[in-house]
Structure 1
Amino acid sequence: MTETPAPAETDRGRLTALTRLWPFARPYRRLIALTFTAALLASLAQLAVPLLVPPIVEGPIADGDRGALLPLLGLALLFGLAEAALFFLRRWAMNVSSLQIERDLRDALYQRLQRLPVAFHEGWSSGQLLSRATSDVATIRRFVGFGAVFLLVNLITCIVVGALLVAIHWPLGLAVLATSAPLVVFGARWEKRYNTESRLVQDEQGELATDVEEAVQGIRVVRSLGRSGLVFGRYDRKAVRLRELQLGKVRTLALIWCLFEFHPQVTLAMILVGGALAVNSGALTAGALIGFIALFTVLLWPILSLGFLLAQAQEAASACDRIGELLDAELTVTDRPGVHPQPVGTPARLRFEDVSFRFPGTGDPVLRGIDLEIAPGETVALVGATGSGKTTATALVARLYDVTGGRVTLDGHDVRDLPLDQLRRVVATAFEEATLFSMSVRENVTLGRPGAGDAEVEEALRVAQAGFVHDLPWGLDTRIGEQGLSLSGGQRQRLALARAVLGRPSVLVLDDPLSALDVHTEALVERALREVLAETTALVVAHRASTVLLADRVALLQDGRITAVGPHGELLATVPAYRELLSSAPELAGAGEGGAR
């Protein structure tokens, strides 16, 4: 798994993280502006009652004039109704805009994950990716819909109320503003700590999600080995660590909240003492003091919420950083500028021309100077010891990886000069580990060619000897569950093979797709597969004698190099390394007794 980058340490770094949201928020800027405007006006409407208190106390109440009291009370009621209407408008605009942004961000993240190269996914755990696409996106939605709006609204409210307090009685107003300075300094210090703790919690949640996913997908292995306790212990240790990290985060947040709860109480006490002295000296009227206190109470919510809102901003910044790691990841396998479809025959001529490959960040190359030509309609079996680079070589054809030296061509066209959509239509691959999806049999088989007709699907199922699907409860419309775990390994392989041969591609790449089949089924599949191989160009990774015998020629791969190419019988007679491989590999040993097709 890749190392998780450290969280941003500066306010500038956190601000940069949050600016990632702008491209997603920009299409909904009008709704966001409406949300902000409604929230601000509702907040300012709260000032109506405190501002009306002095005229009411010093006018109708002091004079006993009930008639003059009613218009002022009606005005206060009117502001209350306006605040309620603005509250409704703010909630509506907030939910619409934030949910749209969440959807767009999640779509962009999912599309990016689909475009990132296989090498990237091999370096990341699925749990880390899942937590970014779910919990982190939800964190950002909550911040956009609430935190970001009220951080700005509360700041403006504090400025307006502060100015009004100074206008009512400047000594007392300045004293109130002065008490805010320690609040800002202390809050900024603890917010940095909270940011670091939030990132650690989010990363640990990703680790825990990975453990859960692995345990569920590998439940058969875990149960069969009787290792449920071991797997749970591993999970529990991470769960305990997550709990400790979350408790540390809660402690920090509690300290922040304690400060922001304590501040207004102390300030209110100061106002009461100072205000009483001012009234006693005649510098302030009783009505003005009541209005001053009422105005200060309007500040209670902005002050109390500040700790929560700043914490939410830190969590959103961490979430933006984590999502940014995916959105900024390099797309190493992508269409070159200006590429356009090229004519590729069916079958096509496949060539490896001085091909080399090394994985990023590794030392020695996996493949070194491979030269191999497969004529249209020819089948070549690629054999070699474990770790010789067979699977890597086949992955280069469909550009699951890009060569680091030389080139792979189809009918003379470098595969990098073909649009990926075209390349992966003309090259079909069946892997040793069959991957199926939680959808119907038909959808799994036609995944690479959704428009295939029933007759073509049936033909592909016949070639793969997958007629068992008609015995499933709903036939081809039966949903086979996540990863196809409701099927046996051999059944999954046969469906994956049917998916690969559907539509008769220009080039068929088979990475030992028959390894999970019993001998009888394997023989039936091979018999039907010969018809397909006669009409397409095929590169087959062979670990079994019967698979070798399907090929016209065999290529021997040793330490990343092709050391011999020829018919099976010829290599058996003239290449000692090939004979040694056959004798040392039980799966291939039987090939010494037969001949090539």
Structure 2
Amino acid sequence: MRSLLRLWPYVRPARARLVTAVFVAIVASCVSLVIPLVLKWIVDGPVAGGDPGGVWLGALLLLGIGVAEALLFGFRRWLVARPLARVEATLRGDLFAHIQRLPVAFHDRWASGQLLSRGTTDLMMLRMFLAFPLTFLVVNGATILVGMAVLLVQEWTLGLVLLLPVLPLIAVCSLFESRYARVARQAQDQAGDLTTVVEESVLGIRIIKGFGRHRSQARAFREQSRRLRATELAKARLLASIWAVIVILPELALGAALVLGVVQVADGGLSAGTLVAFLTTALALRWPVESIGFLLAMCQEAATATRRYFEVIDTARESEGPDTPRDTRPAGVAPEPAGPADGLRFSGVVFRFPDAAPDSRPVLDGVDLHIRSGETMALVGATGSGKTALTALVPRLHEITAGRITLDGQDITALTRAELRSRVALAFEEPTLFSATVGENVLMGADGSAGQTELRGALEVAQADFVDRLPGGTATQVGEQGLSLSGGQRQRLALARAVVGGPRFLVMDDPLSALDVHTEALVEEALRRVLKGTTALVVAHRPSTVLLADRVALLSGGRVTAVGTHQELLRESAEYAWLMSGADAPSDQDATGPAETAKGTNR
């Protein structure tokens, strides 16, 4: 109940209709309990007195009661359908909005299939719970109480016989509830894992086909399906067991009451009509009693789905507003003075991933780097040196562990994320496109005021003239992940998205890696015009990309070990010369090149 009560804020707007629906369902169930009383009157009256007209009147009364019961249950369903669909839509909308605001580190840890199952299967289960089990736990409970009161009034001795299974049923249901909760959670988690396998197989279909791995993927799917099937069978066995107990115990009590009632009728202590009414009432209570196991199972699954839903919702998301700026430089080290157009500055930046141990070696350890306003800085380093991590810190995709980053002298933590990301544009090494038109993908990098002029300018900079040869031009729909385009085409569109808004700061992670040398030369020529008025940090692996920059920073061992022009670093840094030449590493250095003395860092 603690889990399910967390749904109340979502259910509150629909509470009037839900309460009305419960009341209508209780009335409908209680109306059905009038049928035994009519039967008693028919048996003891018209049947005993040989009155056919009375029998027909009783039949019409029974028909009217049945029609009224059906209409009331139909009205109940109409009452709950619309508001519960709205509750499900609100839950799903809140989940999606929350996921969009969660840190990148969360998405690095969570499988997308688990998030998908929470947003689809789990929420559908919650809607079903609110529509049926929640209502009928109340309705059936009320029906059982009213029915037992009627039975005790009709013949209290027989009524006490039917009450004998109550305590055993409570004990059995309590034991069943705890066991079923564990199995239900396991099944829902396994369903999420299965969703992940399917999604990864669809997104990675080219790899699977290219390496002929369809059989191994099919085996993985079958294995996951087999585990889920075994868990579902365990659920079915538990449900079958509780259902058997819930059916057998009341049936034994009903049989005992029938025998005792027949004896009382034979002795003249009970009328036949009273016995018929008693047994009919008892039979009318069979479904409310037998449904307890089924309803408890659905409640446990709903409670598990609620916990899974709030596991995501309870995860702290990125703050919308500015944080309190903090300077975590070592004691006694003053920050560099900043002017009104100071550019991009890293001061004593330390970074380790959120799930890393506190005493582990940081990815970045005391990075000091100043990119002057309007300057383009190339960032060069061996694989694993922390280049991509450094670029992710500027738009706060990850939070720094210590140190300070400023834009034109303003701490990035003092800006709202919306303001920060409106100033900084990104072009990632792996271009990601969405299932939308070419124009919509590119204009995603600009505010709502950008139009066709800005779109055309950005496509020209990125040398994306191939767009005009597509069937619909900029209105052409690209497939999921943009896989209907080549790697170079996707990268050019991602570059156009980065420059379309005319950003003040530009961060690019090897944005030209998928281009051929001729296209690369054209893009670089256009980029030089764009970069003249932009403060840019460009991760580079090739000399041609480095030549776009005014200066170059060498990142090694988590620190900036050298800063200068391309020619200066070729002369002064053996590691930089080794990275740019592509030659084999000298025998006296490891794979990351020789350690360099930090020099020229803030030139």
TM-score by length of 2: 0.90
What is the 5 A alignment of 1:135-534?
Answer: 135-332=121-318, 334-336=320-322, 349-362=343-356, 363-449=360-446, 450-534=448-532
Q: What per-residue deviation string (whole Å, max 9, x for no partner) do you get for residues 548-580 of structure 1?
A: 111111111111111111211112222233223
Farther off after superposition, 121-130 or 246-255: 246-255
Q: What per-residue deviation string (whole Å, max 9, x for no partner) do you get for residues 288-327 of structure 1?
A: 1111111111111112211111110111111111111101
Specify the SS of the correspondent of 2:234: helix
What is the CA-CA distance between 1:155 and the residue it aligns to? 0.8
What is the CA-CA distance between 1:396 and the residue it aligns to? 0.9
Q: What per-residue deviation string (whole Å, max 9, x for no partner) do you get for residues 106-133 of structure 1?
A: 0111111101000000001111111111
- Alignment check: 8 A CA contact 1:510 1:540 kept: yes
Change (3 A) 1:293 1:228: same
Amino acid at match of 1:352: F
What is the CA-CA distance between 1:72 and the residue it aligns to? 4.8
Change (3 A) 1:337 1:356: closer
Q: 1:109 aligns with which of 80, 95, 106?
A: 95
Mapped to 2, the partners of 1:585 and 1:451 lie a distance apart of 49
Mapped to 2, the partners of 1:523 and 1:308 lie a distance apart of 68
Specify the SS of the correspondent of 1:16: coil
Name structure 2 gaps, 5 residues minimum. Answer: 326-338, 585-603
Name the structure 2 match of 1:342.
none
Mapped to 2, the partners of 1:331 and 1:507 lie a distance apart of 25
What is the CA-CA distance between 1:584 and the residue it aligns to? 4.4
Mapped to 1, the partners of 2:573 and 2:323 lie a distance apart of 45
Mapped to 1, the partners of 2:85 and 2:253 lie a distance apart of 39
Mapped to 2, the partners of 1:347 and 1:530 lie a distance apart of 21
Amino acid at match of 1:409: T
Mapped to 2, the partners of 1:40 and 1:512 lie a distance apart of 67
Amino acid at match of 1:384: G
Mapped to 2, the partners of 1:219 and 1:91 lie a distance apart of 44
Name the structure 1 match of 2:542.
544
Specify the SS of the correspondent of 2:403: strand
Change (3 A) 1:352 1:585: farther
What is the CA-CA distance between 1:361 and the residue it aligns to? 3.0
What is the CA-CA distance between 1:334 and the residue it aligns to? 4.2
- Alignment check: 8 A CA contact 2:323 2:415 kept: no
Q: What per-residue deviation string (whole Å, max 9, x for no partner) do you get for residues 9-53 of structure 1?
A: xxxxxx221112111111111121122112111111111111222
What is the CA-CA distance between 1:419 and the residue it aligns to? 1.5
Specify the SS of the correspondent of 1:133: helix
Mapped to 1, the partners of 2:165 and 2:210 lie a distance apart of 66
Amino acid at match of 2:89: R
Amino acid at match of 2:353: F
- Alignment check: 8 A CA contact 2:201 2:208 kept: yes
Farther off after superposition, 265-274 or 76-85: 76-85
- Alignment check: 8 A CA contact 2:33 2:281 kept: yes
Q: What per-residue deviation string (whole Å, max 9, x for no partner) do you get for residues 213-255 of structure 1?
A: 1111111111111221122222221122111112222222222
Mapped to 1, the partners of 2:147 and 2:299 lie a distance apart of 24
Change (3 A) 1:444 1:332: closer
Mapped to 2, the partners of 1:535 and 1:278 lie a distance apart of 102
Mapped to 2, the partners of 1:352 and 1:51 lie a distance apart of 85
- Alignment check: 8 A CA contact 2:122 2:305 kept: yes
Mapped to 2, the partners of 1:540 and 1:165 lie a distance apart of 83
Tell me the number of residue pairs that the alignment of Structure 1 and Structure 2 aligns.
568
Amino acid at match of 1:487: L
Amino acid at match of 2:411: D
Name the structure 2 match of 1:572.
570
Specify the SS of the correspondent of 1:356: strand
Mapped to 2, the partners of 1:99 and 1:305 lie a distance apart of 25
Mapped to 2, the partners of 1:292 and 1:243 lie a distance apart of 44
Amino acid at match of 1:527: E
What is the CA-CA distance between 1:73 and the residue it aligns to? 4.7
Mapped to 1, the partners of 2:68 and 2:418 lie a distance apart of 56
Amino acid at match of 1:41: V
Mapped to 1, the partners of 2:488 and 2:47 lie a distance apart of 90
What is the CA-CA distance between 1:71 and the residue it aligns to? 5.5
- Alignment check: 8 A CA contact 1:117 1:333 kept: no
TM-score by length of 1: 0.91
Give the RMSD, CA atoms, in angstroms: 2.1
- Alignment check: 8 A CA contact 2:36 2:280 kept: yes
Amino acid at match of 2:42: I
Amino acid at match of 2:82: V
Amino acid at match of 1:366: V
Name structure 1 gaps, 5 residues minimum. Answer: 1-14, 340-344, 587-597
Specify the SS of the correspondent of 1:435: coil
What is the 5 A alignment of 1:119-138?
Answer: 119-138=105-124
Name the structure 1 match of 2:46.
60
What is the CA-CA distance between 1:581 and the residue it aligns to? 2.9
Mapped to 1, the partners of 2:68 and 2:342 lie a distance apart of 73
What is the CA-CA distance between 1:583 and the residue it aligns to? 3.5
What is the CA-CA distance between 1:516 and the residue it aligns to? 0.9
Q: What per-residue deviation string (whole Å, max 9, x for no partner) do you get for residues 132-184 of structure 1?
A: 11111111111011111101111111111111111211121111111132222
Mapped to 2, the partners of 1:528 and 1:244 lie a distance apart of 60
- Alignment check: 8 A CA contact 1:426 1:507 kept: yes
Q: 1:92 aligns with which of 78, 94, 100?
A: 78
What is the CA-CA distance between 1:511 and the residue it aligns to? 0.6
What is the CA-CA distance between 1:70 and the residue it aligns to? 5.7
Amino acid at match of 2:344: L
Specify the SS of the correspondent of 1:230: helix
Mapped to 2, the partners of 1:407 and 1:51 lie a distance apart of 81
Give identity over the alignment, percent.
51
Mapped to 1, the partners of 2:226 and 2:56 lie a distance apart of 62
